[in-house]
Structure 1
Amino acid sequence: MTVKHLSVDYNKVNERGTFSPGDILSGKVTVVTSKEIKVQCFLVKAKGKVKVTWSERVGQEIVVHCNKKKYFYFEHIILQDKNKGDGSEIIGPGRNVYPFTFVIPNTDMPSTYEGKWGKVTYSLRTRLTQSIWLVHKTKIEFPFLTKAEFPFASKSDMIIIELKEQQYATRISFYGSQKVTMNVTSEKVGVKQGEAIGVSVEVLNESTRTVTPKFYLCEKQTFAAQSKRIVHTNDTLFATGDAVPAEISRTMTKVLSIPPQLAPTFFNCGMMKLEYRIRVTLDGVPLARDPEIKLPLVILLGSPKPHEQKPKRSIWFRKLPG
């Protein structure tokens, strides 16, 4: 083959190597040939898009649900023959480098993300057409970050305040005449990637059984296509609390560290959204379904920072009356 190498590369605009709305996306296309070749068309494209697809069985048939949307699409013609198909443009032998520049639209677009049944991608593609039977292609994806500080709701002072507030929930479960009460408190609603958040649980065990709290980080992905929706959830156990014996009350705090690579919460995509929850369950309660409490958690884009509050030790030994 005369075309020995074809590649497309971009220039980084920051230390992270990410791009955002309004940034200049520049780079180069490199082609190496063993001899002079004729070209019908040689171009580079920049594209941002979202696509979701999944299938389900309806009776005896498999129904595929699919939807996609382009956020932007640009083409830069490097070489193109004057008369369509005559191959009048020439690329000389050896290494040939062609620069390009695009401006990413300054509009609200979701960050790069890949979920169970859909993904948001931003890419550069190049295509070198020598003839209808001889086409060379290559592609590279570049990471994209939204500029929206809160890509899940309109920015307002009330939202900012709510993200910093403590949240609290209570669940009481009965087994016959026996009762187990669980109170769960988290330090705040919003936390940045790489940060940590303290989650406290108080268990008042008035039953005759030993119960054990477990702490989970829950991820919820929602996809939409053709008026249909599908949800994928994933629970990650991040801590197991101390066992609470019968007729004992105990309070404990666990620290949940948010992985810096975990994707932030987002709602600024019509076909998919990403949410998180803190879920606390009680193992050992003799019910068909273990009692649980879910508290919303908003993960924000940010650099890793050490958690300032030190984890508390478990507190117990309070005998319940009766």
Structure 2
Amino acid sequence: MLFDRVKRLSVELDCPEVASPPVFSSGESVAGRVVLELSGTARLGALHLHAQGAAKVHWTESRSAGSSTAYTQSYSDQVEFLSHRQTLLAPPDNGDVTVLQAGRHEFPFTFQLPESLATSFEGKHGSVRYWVKAKLHRPWASVKKAKKDFTIIEPIDINTPALLAPQAGAKEKLARAWYCNRGLVSVSAKIDRKGYTPGEVIPIFAEIDNCSTRTVVPKAAIIQTQTFVARGTKKQKKSVVASMVGDAIAAGKREVWHGRALKIPPVGPSILQCHIIHVEYALKVCIEIPGTSKLFLELPLVIGTIPLHPFGSRTSSVSSQYSVSLDWVRMGIPEEPEAPPEYSSVVSSEGPLETLSPPSQDGAPPGVLEGPFFAYIQEFRFRPPPLYSEVDPNPQSDAAIRPRCMTC
């Protein structure tokens, strides 16, 4: 515009760490400024600020009604988490306009985030987004707007009794082929705790008994389940975020996993408190049995943001050897992670399941992963905790040592 004196209108947020967009948690104070650059003297009206945050879901389903007629049903819902309005520049009481000279002008602001927010998220059928928008009103001119996104990461501390509790289970299946009994296949598995953080290694302890006449192959995978809820209807998207394949087990043999390692890749934390979007994880142990359906054992996981303390409880001593302390660096992930197998390769084929391979990166910023907002975390810098040892550094004399039961 020929007489437009506004060179730039932008929103800047203060953040303790360099990040784009900045990262905050619920309950924190957000501070920043609206920057206005003028090329000449300008007559201005009001300058308003609006901070918003909301979860939205939307998807459509096509349904068949008869042999040739079909209709489409849409589902959508929205939950608002944040709405803060503030006037940074108000017109004079006499109804006149404000006149500002050429140059740079800053309008500081601050507001408090609510205590309960959902982690930022980008998914196929929904999202959780937060942003700050500035609107500059001018007489005889269009409204000038500027917007700045920011990220919310809700802390999930895995150092709680519920998330430090071991998870275990057992399943068995009778292998059948052409109505013939081929024997029993059973699996029992255990992990030391329920809560983990990205970058950690999950040690899997399992026993697989193959009493069938076929060779079976064990697998393990971390499954992410995104659930979207609207109008009482659910839509799910499942994907494999990490996997491993064990050695083939011959007929009549047993295989034991003594802490087989499965590393958690850079994925977003669990989302459990949002009413319309849930992100959950599970460790799934799968036994492929030729000629019959697969045997599955599923153990729940919670992906947190606060890692295990180096001097945690005695019950987590084994897993603490695999634990790491990570630093969050809020930037894009520099390298493309290795693509895990398709979801259908490690889950049951019961029912019409869509192919759930890792999301396409086409059209997305470099390094952005679909899921709870991990797009702005660059890397994990690992600092291994002190090694756990059963050896007493100050042993007693031989006479004072009592026999110890090794099975205790």
What range is the shorter-chain TM-score in?
0.7 to 0.9
Could you tell me which residue of structure 2 aligns to residue 124 of structure 1? Answer: 132
Q: Offset of 1:141 from its aligned partner?
A: 1.6
Distance (whole Å) between structure 1 residues aligned to residue 101 and residue 77 of structure 2: 42
> What are the residue-to-residue correspondences of 1:36-185 with 2, within 5 Å?
36-59=41-64, 60-82=70-92, 88-105=97-114, 107-130=115-138, 134-146=142-154, 149=157, 160-161=161-162, 163-175=164-176, 176-179=180-183, 180-185=185-190
The aligned amino acid for 2:187 is M
In the TM superposition, what is the alpha-carbon distance from 1:219 to its structure 2 partner? 0.6
Separation in 1, partners of 2:83, 2:162? 38
Structure 1 residues 177 and 45, CA, compared in 2 at 3 Å: closer, same or farther?
A: same
Contact kept, 8 Å, 1:108 with 1:148, in 2: the verdict is no
State the Cα deviation string for residues 82-129 of structure 1 (Å, max 9, x = none). 589x87223322221111111222x22222222221121221111223
Alpha-carbon shift at residue 304 of structure 1 (Å): 8.2
Q: Paired residue for 1:319?
A: none
Instruction: Please state whether the residue corresponding to 2:117 is helix, strand or coil.
Output: coil
1:229 shift after superposition:
1.5
Q: What secondary structure, in the 3-state scheme, does the structure 2 residue paired with 1:177 have?
A: strand
Secondary structure of 2:151 counterpart: coil
* Inter-partner Cα distance in structure 2 for 1:135 and 1:103: 27
1:131–1:117 CA distance, 2 compared to 1 (3 A)? farther
What residue ranges of structure 1 are gaps of 5+ in the alignment?
A: 151-156, 311-322
RMSD over aligned Cα atoms? 2.8
Contact 1:122-1:142 within 8 A present in 2 as well = yes
Structure 2 distance, partners of 1:196, 1:27, is 39
Give 2:354's aligned residue: none
Find the partner of 1:34 among 31, 39, 43. 39
Looking at structure 2, the residues matched to 44 and 91 of structure 1 have their Cα atoms a distance apart, in angstroms, of 19
Deviation at 1:262, TM superposition (A): 1.9
How far does residue 147 in structure 1 lie from its aligned partner after superposition? 5.2
Q: 1:97 to 1:257 in 2, by over 3 A?
A: same
Corresponding residue for 2:247?
A: 242
1:145 shift after superposition = 2.8
Deviations 1:260-307 (A, max 9, x none): x422222211111111111121224211x3222111112222248896
Q: Is 2:260 aligned against 1:254?
A: yes
Q: Is the 8 A contact 2:155 2:306 kept in 1?
A: no
Q: CA deviation at 1:24?
A: 1.5
Cα–Cα, structure 1 residues 147 and 203, in superposed 2: closer, same or farther, change >3 Å? closer
Name the CA shift for 1:205/1:22 in 2 (closer, same or farther; >3 Å).
Answer: closer
Aligned length: 299
Which TM-score applies when normalising by structure 2? 0.66
Whole-Å separation in 2 of the counterparts to 1:34 and 1:197: 59
Match of 1:223 in 2: 228
Q: 1:283 & 1:35 partners in 2: Cα distance? A: 73
Kept after mapping to 2: 8 A contact 1:45/1:76: yes
TM-score, L = length of structure 1? 0.82
8 Å contact from structure 2 (residues 157, 307) kept in 1:
no
Inter-CA distance 255–283: structure 2 relative to 1 (3 Å threshold): same
Task: In structure 1, give the amino acid aligned to 2:136.
Answer: L
